[in-house]
């Protein structure tokens, strides 16, 4: 597997990890935690942007 | 229109707020069209813009932003499962060399008649492939086959682009259609019926577009009988199948079209060969192979899909295994509420199309292996090709869906819809297909077009009190047809046919047919809406 393809796959994997983090943050009943979860998702999205 | 938006929990209707609500879509169009940016990059930027506008203009809190984003990603799982599994099945069949055998067999059955070859290999065959695997594969397979049969390269690409597009909605085992259902609260049965009606009409127009592109009115005149015959066979099959299982409607329509086009159509008196053509045909090279074996993967798929969808006790038993995730109630500052839900968009594990394709792929691989068709390392090759072919569309679909669902969750889509309803009024049915066409042009995907605009079209239809089924049927028909008029698919066509750099010329050809076809679709919709149908 070449580096480009591996990075693309990892970028999708990071989105899935951020999905899990944000989901639990949403149910935490804490605005601060939810904002942190959104921050993690934003980082994953930026990573997807870079590796697309 | 005197709409009181405070009653639905949205800001008062104003031009600046409306422009801001539309901004994520405008940005995604501008980035892709004006700057040639990839769908994935444009999707990420637009998701960020949608989140900022939701927070600062529509007073969405962190829960709304999180909920909209999460629902968007969850919605993609169903679609991505179909994409990956259908691409794997296609690659599995491809590594066995079966596509060449299938295409050669159908060529022989048409007596070498050029016009029939063009219609069968450039329209019916891509439709069949689209039934199980879209995302450019029908064009990648059909265009080289047409070139190999002696057709002009550009003509081959344009024909394959036009030919496969009408089948997109119910193609890839219904991934595009499933988006339509996930993004709006319409019922599956009526939606499938109206979508099938409009798509069959789109197919009817496609046949004539291919003929006209081949040789103007001369070809239209010579091929009219064949085109009408194939339209009735495929369109009729599509509508009937949509009643039972819309997820296989294109697949079944393509399969029946291949049989009718190969075994019945060549027997029509006007399509028999002249002696000179017969001699050329007999002298042509043939691909060795057993058609039954080559076609076996799709026969297995038909059996599996039909068994699961059409045997009620089996379907009932398997449908009870579902995965869905819960979401809490959220609301924006203006009052718009998204109610809590115990199981959002549940995935039926054993009846979802992706699972059926995986099961069929395993059975097909075993069958090919038993008959010596599967080469050493064939499965690994198919998997590697699937990986590299599917990852790009995966990266595109995820952020686009995040943006689209977030816009809906925060009320942006609803707000845009109220604005359009106030301006277009009764003429909206004629405008509606061009919204779908725009989405398809920008994203090079009927599925992505539906992701972008399904909620918008649904809301406008509701506001104008016209049938959402007819409006959404036009949306999905236009987004399907637009697959022939998108830079991404045009580039794919030029790539597989040695026409690099001629994307503009191809888009010019497919563009003029798209404008005419979508206008006719809009007029049909306007007439049906005026008659009060679709409720």
pLDDT digits (tens, 9 = 90+) for B455-467: 889 988 988 889 9
Instruction: Check B70 against A26: CB less than 8 A apart.
Output: yes
Q: Is the pLDDT of residue B1 over 50?
A: no
Instruction: Check A15 against B38: CB less than 8 A apart.
Output: no
d(CA B112, CA B278): 7
- Encode B456-472: b = buried (16+ Cβ within 10 Å), e = exposed: bbbbbbbbbebbbbbbb
Closest A-chain CA to B389: A5
Instruction: Check B48 against A8: CB less than 8 A apart.
Output: no
Name which of B177, B234, B240 is nearest B476 in CA terms. B177
Q: Find which of B341, B342, B398, B400 to mutate to test the A interface (most A CBs within 10 Å of its CB).
A: B398
Closest A-chain CA to B41: A49
What is the model's pLDDT at position B2?
52
d(CA A31, CA A39): 12
Predicted complex: ipTM over 0.90: yes
Instruction: Check A23 against B392: CB less than 8 A apart.
Output: no
Element holding B383 (H helix, E strand): helix B378-409
The distance in angstroms from the start CA to the end CA of chain B is 23
The set of residues, in sequence order, having a beta carbon less than 8 Å from that of B366 and lying 6+ positions away, is: none
Question: What 3-state class would DSSP assign to B429?
Answer: helix
Element holding B343 (H helix, E strand): strand B341-348
Instruction: Check B44 against A15: CB less than 8 A apart.
Output: no
* Inter-residue contact B396 to B28 (CB < 8 Å): no
d(CA B433, CA A20): 37
Chain A (10-49) residues lying within 8 Å, Cβ to Cβ, of chain B: 11-12, 15, 19, 22-23, 25-27, 31, 34-35, 37-38, 41-42, 45-46, 48-49
Radius of gyration of chain B (CA): 23
d(CA B228, CA B217): 15
The nearest CA of chain A is from the CA of B82 a distance in Å of 16
The nearest CA of chain B is from the CA of A12 a distance in Å of 7
Q: Average of pLDDT values for B334-340?
A: 94
The set of residues, in sequence order, having a beta carbon less than 8 Å from that of B408 and lying 6+ positions away, is: B68, B183, B414, B455
Q: Where are the alpha helices (DSSP H) in B110-187?
A: 114-119, 125-132, 137-148, 153-165, 175-182
Instruction: Check A52 against B63: CB less than 8 A apart.
Output: no
Contacts of A9 in chain B (CB under 8 A): 387, 391
d(CA B3, CA B91): 53
Q: Is the pLDDT of residue B60 over 90?
A: yes
The CA-atom distances, in angstroms, between B397 and each of B155, B175, B433 are 30, 12, 21
The set of residues, in sequence order, having a beta carbon less than 8 Å from that of B374 and lying 6+ positions away, is: B95, B96, B365, B368
Contacts of A11 in chain B (CB under 8 A): 395
- For B16-45, the pLDDT digits (tens) are 999 999 999 889 878 876 787 887 898 899
Name which of B126, B132, B215, B212 is nearest B165 in CA terms. B126
Which residues of B fall below an 8 Å CB-CB distance to A?
38, 40-41, 44-45, 47-48, 51, 61-63, 65-67, 69-70, 73-74, 325, 327-328, 384, 387-388, 391-392, 394-396, 398-399, 402
Q: Average of pLDDT values for B120-135?
A: 85
Q: Which of B44, B63, B399 is the closest to A26 by Cβ?
A: B63
- Encode B279-289: b = buried (16+ Cβ within 10 Å), e = exposed: eebeeeeeeeb
- For B474-484, the pLDDT digits (tens) are 999 999 999 99
Q: Which of B44, B65, B384 is the closest to A45 by Cβ?
A: B44
Q: Which of A9, A26, A51 is the closest to B66 by Cβ?
A: A26
The set of residues, in sequence order, having a beta carbon less than 8 Å from that of B158 and lying 6+ positions away, is: B213, B484, B493, B506, B509, B510
Mean pLDDT, chain B, whole residue set: 87
Comparison of pLDDT for A40 and B388, the residue scoring more = A40
Instruction: Check A9 against B387: CB less than 8 A apart.
Output: yes
Q: Average of pLDDT values for B282-301?
A: 79
What is the model's pLDDT at position B500?
66
What is the model's pLDDT at position B332?
96
Element holding B331 (H helix, E strand): strand B330-331
* Inter-residue contact B181 to B189 (CB < 8 Å): no
């Amino acid at each position: 597997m070449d580096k480009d393809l591996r990075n693309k796959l990892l970028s999708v994997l990071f989105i899935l990890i951020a999905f899990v983090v944000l989901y639990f943050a949403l149910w935490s009943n804490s605005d601060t935690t939810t904002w942190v979860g959104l921050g993690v998702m934003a980082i994953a999205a930026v990573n997807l942007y870079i590796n697309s | 229109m005197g709409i009181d938006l405070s009653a639905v929990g949205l800001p008062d209707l104003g031009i600046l707020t409306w422009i801001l609500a539309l901004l994520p879509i405008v940005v995604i169009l501008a980035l892709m069209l004006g700057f040639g940016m990839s769908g994935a990059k444009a999707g990420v930027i637009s998701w960020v813009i949608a989140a900022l506008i939701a927070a600062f203009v529509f007073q969405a809190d962190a829960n709304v932003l999180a909920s909209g984003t999460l629902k968007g990603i969850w919605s993609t799982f169903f679609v991505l499962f179909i994409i990956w599994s259908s691409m794997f099945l296609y690659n599995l069949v491809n590594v066995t060399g079966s596509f060449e055998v299938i295409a050669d067999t159908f060529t022989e059955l048409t007596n070498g008649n050029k016009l029939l070859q063009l219609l069968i290999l450039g329209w019916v065959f891509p439709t069949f492939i689209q039934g199980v695997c879209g995302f450019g594969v029908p064009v990648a397979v059909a265009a080289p086959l047409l070139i190999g049969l002696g057709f002009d390269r550009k003509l081959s690409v344009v024909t394959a682009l036009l030919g496969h597009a009408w089948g997109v909605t119910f193609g890839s085992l219904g991934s595009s259609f499933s988006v339509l259902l996930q993004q709006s609260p319409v019922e599956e049965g009526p939606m499938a019926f109206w979508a099938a009606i409009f798509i069959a009409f789109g197919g009817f127009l496609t046949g004539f577009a291919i003929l006209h592109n081949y040789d103007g009115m001369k070809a239209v005149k010579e091929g009219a009988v064949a085109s009408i015959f194939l339209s009735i066979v495929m369109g009729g099959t599509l509508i009937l199948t949509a009643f039972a299982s819309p997820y296989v409607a294109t697949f079944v329509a393509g399969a029946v079209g291949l049989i009718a086009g190969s075994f019945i159509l060549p027997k029509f008196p006007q399509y028999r060969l002249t002696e000179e053509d017969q001699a050329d045909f007999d002298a042509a090279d043939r691909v060795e192979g057993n058609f039954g074996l080559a076609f076996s993967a799709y026969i297995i798929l038909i059996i599996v899909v039909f068994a699961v969808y059409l045997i009620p006790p089996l379907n009932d038993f398997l449908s009870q295994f579902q995965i869905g995730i819960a979401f809490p109630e959220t609301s924006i500052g203006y009052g718009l509420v998204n109610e809590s839900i115990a199981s959002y968009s549940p995935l039926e594990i054993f009846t979802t199309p992706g699972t059926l394709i995986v099961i069929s792929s395993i059975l097909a691989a075993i069958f090919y292996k038993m008959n010596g068709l599967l080469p050493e390392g064939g499965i690994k090759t198919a998997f590697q090709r699937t990986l590299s072919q599917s990852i790009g569309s995966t990266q595109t679909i995820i952020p686009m869906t995040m943006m689209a669902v977030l816009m809906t969750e925060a009320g942006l889509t609803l707000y845009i819809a109220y604005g359009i309803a106030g301006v277009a009024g009764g003429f909206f049915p004629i405008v509606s297909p061009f919204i779908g066409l725009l989405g398809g042009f920008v994203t090079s995907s009927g599925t992505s077009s539906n992701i972008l605009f399904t909620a918008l079209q649904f809301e406008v239809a509701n506001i104008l009190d016209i049938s959402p089924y007819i409006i959404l049927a036009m949306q999905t028909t236009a987004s399907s047809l637009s697959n022939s008029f998108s830079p991404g698919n045009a580039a794919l066509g030029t790539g597989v046919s040695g026409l690099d750099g001629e994307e503009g010329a191809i888009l010019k050809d497919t563009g003029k047919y798209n404008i005419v076809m979508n206008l006719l679709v809009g007029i049909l919709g306007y007439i049906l809406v005026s008659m009060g149908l679709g409720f």
